[in-house]
Structure 1
């Protein structure tokens, strides 16, 4: 849901609480936290979650005050940038990216803050994605994965079963097209969130954004094969609907699915509520791969980080240990249909009937691959992908040419780090 869950991004709205610095006597400390809003109304604003958490923590720590400002995803990253530029960073920020601040030596290392049990409890892939050159600065706060959603009613009408491989998906799309389905497979490669759909398909073909030594590998043979197949076997055969993939945004694809106009598309947990609210009967299966179910899927995480400028390391670390308790991680994940970032909370969720609707996504988390968010160049590369990748599958487009162009741009961005 953007590399953010919001852009689940995406994984907002706007609500703001005030902020101030040190208060009271020498033993009293106010910790400033800027956080993103995962709610879609005042009723479920993240402000309520943080208010409750702060109240509980302060009750046991009378010498510490937690002062939280909550902003929509449209504003929160910019707000933090402005605070840092003005020389007044918050103690903690829960936002979409950490690498720029880590590269400028502005953040505490996670192991300078968290107790060993808490740091060791992070899901492995998420902890690794929070590292820059082997050191963890980004602490995962919320996670999501993607699965293939399909419309059960349309599939029954076409007499088909959910796909396991690319060939299955193309055959199902042909059958759906024959039944007059508007979007047999919705392929959103538009500028809203093309980097997500792109990575999902790259992984299904055995590729990805990076190579085995963590350099960019956008124009790898695997990725070129994947986009050549998309261009020739899906887009070229009219199986993706009336809107060119490069002009189709994720939000529009989700809305079309909720109207019963889409046979299949990749989705994250929020699509469940969107579909259910419109009465669409849907199923979910792992992303089809080149020769069977994909061995890896897209994972997305949002991040907590702690700035060094104000000191308060011990107080920040103690508060974050509380934030990452199993109870609090589960409460946040359940409120917003997200995946826990800790192994303990993930285990509880996997065993809970209350959370059974999230199991397909939870099962994908352990084999997920995240964007290369530890690279400060990723923001530029992601922006280039959003603008260019749709051309790779367009009529007259060249997958190898477009991916080669993106690889060259990525190399320039990385050399500038």
Structure 2
């Protein structure tokens, strides 16, 4: 169930092109509404498009759905895994009136797709609980990623998994380093750094104490909640401003960057050289439930998980999601809704999704008592994923091409601090200016 595109924003020129196409789509208007029927369910044929990496799994879901409802048919089609191409293809299909009935949505693109009249507002149906699918059943912060900034009363998608950051740790490396203090649910970031530094020093750098918290520079699922815990913000949709250079954020960046060269290896812009937990190169790392099957397959050491460490008693859990949406131009919205209602049932698609080991259902019931919690270990401490899903802080996405400017500006600031020894306040002060200029152009 891993989304290949991740949380990467679009490249500059592609962002401009996609933004232009989306503006054209929006100007053309869009048909359909959350209450529209547009055809019968029995005997229906609908199309469903997801990124290529997810096609094999969704074909299994489609086969199970057709087995449960033999008179209904689903064709699964492919969208590009690349984030830029993914958005552009949906825009092109909208202009040609060739959108699928159900499409994969992603947190970083949800605003664009909604403003471009690609995704349907399903808030009315969710309020009514049509076919048992109720909005109130979902974790609000994950549902919130599909509330467009321009129309927060709308809901244009449903998250597939509560993808939350969690602390992974390798007990075998701890033992090799002679360190017996394993992570606990009460750990602070100071505890994390202290033990990680001890491991790195005692092994002479053979093992990283932890994989770099910011990787090569840009990990929004990590820095957003840390900045929030310090009382700051990355983006405030009410003021349409970024605060990544404000004093509270500077404290957060200072904490995050202090790991390089102590708790983690020195900074490297080469992603291939970053210590990887699944390859047994680091004692600890922040990751998500979606990576568990890969870790189980590649890492033969003894490992487990704990909730994210805290700052001043505050959670620092981040995350993201991909979701499923109904297109505005679908000719059979009732049939598309019927599939979604089946997919999110505990004995429907969600049962199959949980069996992959990658999915924590984004519902209160699914988090607390879903079948994913009975899968074979490792990890043993499944409760950590449940706790972090509930605690996850998921901020509003930046609109349009400003998201790409944020990503580029953060990476640049990190490199200036680590490689050019520029002050954190100066580097991120300039980064904030660049992002706010981009945000101003979005108005």
Give the match for residue 78 of structure 2.
70
Structure 1 residue 408 and structure 2 residue 433: aligned? Answer: yes
Pairwise CA distance, 1:369: 1.5
CA distance in 2, matches of 1:160, 1:393: 33
Structure 1 residue 323 and structure 2 residue 343: aligned? Answer: yes
Structure 1 residue 228 and structure 2 residue 254: aligned? Answer: yes
CA distance in 2, matches of 1:303, 1:351: 19
Structure 1 residue 184 and structure 2 residue 209: aligned? Answer: yes
Give the match for residue 131 of structure 1.
147
CA distance in 2, matches of 1:316, 1:172: 50
Pairwise CA distance, 1:393: 4.2
String of CA shifts for 1:1-31, please: whole Å, max 9, x gaps. 9xx8545569xxxxxxxxxxxxx99996432
Question: Which ranges in structure 1 are unaligned for 5 or more consecutive residues?
Answer: 11-23
2:319 to 280, 299, 303: 299
Question: Which ranges in structure 2 are unaligned for 5 or more consecutive residues?
Answer: 9-38
String of CA shifts for 1:308-339, please: whole Å, max 9, x gaps. 12332222222222222222223213325121
Give the match for residue 389 of structure 2.
365
Pairwise CA distance, 1:381: 4.4
String of CA shifts for 1:215-264, please: whole Å, max 9, x gaps. 43323322210212333x422x543214x25x153x7646x323432122
2:227 to 184, 198, 202: 202
Q: Secondary structure at the match of 1:332?
A: helix
2:50 to 18, 35, 53: 35
Kindly tell me: are residues 148 and 393 of structure 1, through their superposed partners in 2, closer, same or farther at Cα, counting changes over 3 Å?
farther
1:287 to 308, 324, 328: 308
Give the match for residue 104 of structure 1.
116
Kindly tell me: are residues 355 and 220 of structure 1, through their superposed partners in 2, closer, same or farther at Cα, counting changes over 3 Å?
farther
CA distance in 2, matches of 1:310, 1:9: 27
Kindly tell me: are residues 239 and 55 of structure 1, through their superposed partners in 2, closer, same or farther at Cα, counting changes over 3 Å?
same
| Contact 1:102/1:137 (<8 A) preserved | yes
| Contact 1:76/1:95 (<8 A) preserved | no
Pairwise CA distance, 1:130: 1.3
Pairwise CA distance, 1:112: 4.3
Task: Give the TM-score normalised by structure 1.
Answer: 0.79
Give the match for residue 343 of structure 1.
364
| Contact 1:125/1:369 (<8 A) preserved | yes
Structure with the higher fraction of residues in strand conformation: 1
| Contact 1:194/1:389 (<8 A) preserved | no
CA distance in 2, matches of 1:112, 1:390: 44
Q: Secondary structure at the match of 1:223?
A: helix
| Contact 2:174/2:199 (<8 A) preserved | yes
State the Cα RMSD in Å.
Answer: 3.5
String of CA shifts for 1:170-212, please: whole Å, max 9, x gaps. 3213312221134222215356963333335434545442349
Structure 1 residue 166 and structure 2 residue 185: aligned? Answer: no
